Structure formats: structure tokens, C-alpha cells
Amino acid sequence: MATHRIKATDEPGSAPFKAGVSSRGEGNVIDLAPDCALSGRIEVTGARNRLTIASGATLERYAPAGFGATVPDIGKRSDASLLIEGDDNVVEIASGARLGMNIVIRGNGNRIRIGPETWLHGFANLITDGATLTVGARTTMVQGSLQLHEPLTLSIGEDCMISSQVYVSVSDIHPIRDRVSGARINPGRPVEIGDHVWLGLRTMVMKGARIGHGAITAAGSIVSGEVPPHSLVGGAPARVMRNDVAWSRDLDLDAPVAVEPPPRRGWRLFGR
């Protein structure tokens, strides 16, 4: 299918410029499928940036509902839904993706790839050089916050369900140093979230987390290490609460309910 190609020399309002899209700099290319829907503004500033929005995709600005997980990058104010400032950045939004997001890229050589039929609502900040954010097909997110402030990778698999007010970051964002040597003691680490993972309400996924296929994090979990596949974890820090679990998006009221054995009680030899 043909796409609109917008170059930095084009003037807003001229064909093939879409309303709400601006590009300033040299060699920027914005490819928009004719049937993509844009209700949020796009601003691209810099050189050799590339944005592709495929057929049937929707991009609109994030509108917080109640308590938000965090705020967008506050270094510079902008009302754009997608803001790119820098050189050689690439953003690819696949067919059928529905995004109600504020996406900010400030830096060079960053990559964002969002898979088909995703439904994402929240923030994504890439305030660095050389970071990569990938989101797999059919993944959903409600009021989430994805943060990359170091040149690392944040990977989210297919068919994940990210609940309200979930925060995911590859770093602590601000450095901590040893006072004597001056060496930094809190470097960032990549985050990997497998396919079909359910992140419960207000989960925090911290640097270095690796969450296996089919896993579940309980509400309020803080995850910073390895989560085995098909496990349920919870707590701060998160610990395995149960293994061999499976989850689905649809509530089946006819399914049998597991009966847990009562806790064992020992005799109290002393006490009042």
C-alpha cells in the first residue's frame, strides 16, 4: 500500500503533509499509511530520523485517567503525542496498533518498534542515545510508563497484559556514586519481559528484570531479578508464590476452583 512520504523540506498543509505533523531538519522521512489515524501531534526535529506508521494504526495523545504512573519527560514542554529530537532515530508502529501515548525521544540512534494489534496507553521516554524499545503483537497496557535513560534494551513480548500504573525502567535514571572513588555504583541493565506475561496493578519492573513466558506479577510487586516461566510472584522484592500457573484474559465462571488445603497448625507449648 502506498504511503505518504514527508521530507523536511515540505511545508505543513501541503500534500502529502498530514495535519498535526511537523518535520524540521535534513533527511527526515515520515511514512504514513493513508488509513492511519492521527489525533495527536507529531514533531520531528533533527537529521535522518525515520517514522513509519502502518495501515490501520491509531496515534493519539495520552490522557491520564485518575492517578498516573508517572509524567512525561519534563525537560522541555511539548503537547506532541510523538516527539523526536535528535538524529538517526527510528520509530516503527505496525498495522492495527492503537496508541494513546506520549512518546518522547531525545537523543541519537534510538529505536522503537511496536507490534501489530497492540493497545498501549501511557508514556514512553527514551532520553539517551542508542536505546531500543520493542513491544510485541497484541500486547495491551493501561496507564503504563516505559523509561529508557541509558543505551539499553527494554523488550516486551507478545500478548502481554500490563495493568494500570505499571512502571518499567532499565535504570534508576539518576546516578549514585561512591564518595571516595567517584565510581558509579548503580549502572542500568536491560529488561526482558517474555510473551503472555501479566503485570498486575502498580507493578514496578526494575533494571535487570527478566520475566519468563506466561508469568504473573501480583499487584504492587517490585521485580528486579529473574521470574521463572509460568510462575506467580509477589512482594517487594518479588518472590515466587506459586509455580505452574496459567492465565487468560477472559473470565471463565464455569471453570473449577482450586481448593487449597488449610494451613498446618502445631501445638503451642508455651505462651498465653
pLDDT of 79 higher than 80: no
Instruction: For 223-250, write each residue's pLDDT tens digit.
Output: 999 999 999 999 999 999 999 999 999 8
Instruction: Give the per-residue pLDDT at 76.
Output: 57
- Looking at every residue in the chain, the average pLDDT score rounds to 87
218 CB-near residues (< 8 Å, 6+ apart): 200, 203, 232, 233, 234, 235, 238, 241
Tens digits of residue pLDDT in 170-189: 999 999 999 999 999 999 99
Interval 73-98 mean pLDDT:
85
Burial grade of 2 (CB within 10 A; 0-12, 13-18, 19 or more) = exposed
Q: What is the pTM of this model?
A: 0.85
What is the tens place of the pLDDT at every residue in 18-49? 568 989 999 999 999 999 988 888 999 999 99
The CA distance from 112 to 106, in Å, is 13
pLDDT at 20: 82
Residues in the chain, overall count: 272
Q: What does the pLDDT look like over 90-134, one tens digit per residue?
A: 999 999 999 999 999 999 999 999 999 999 999 999 999 999 999
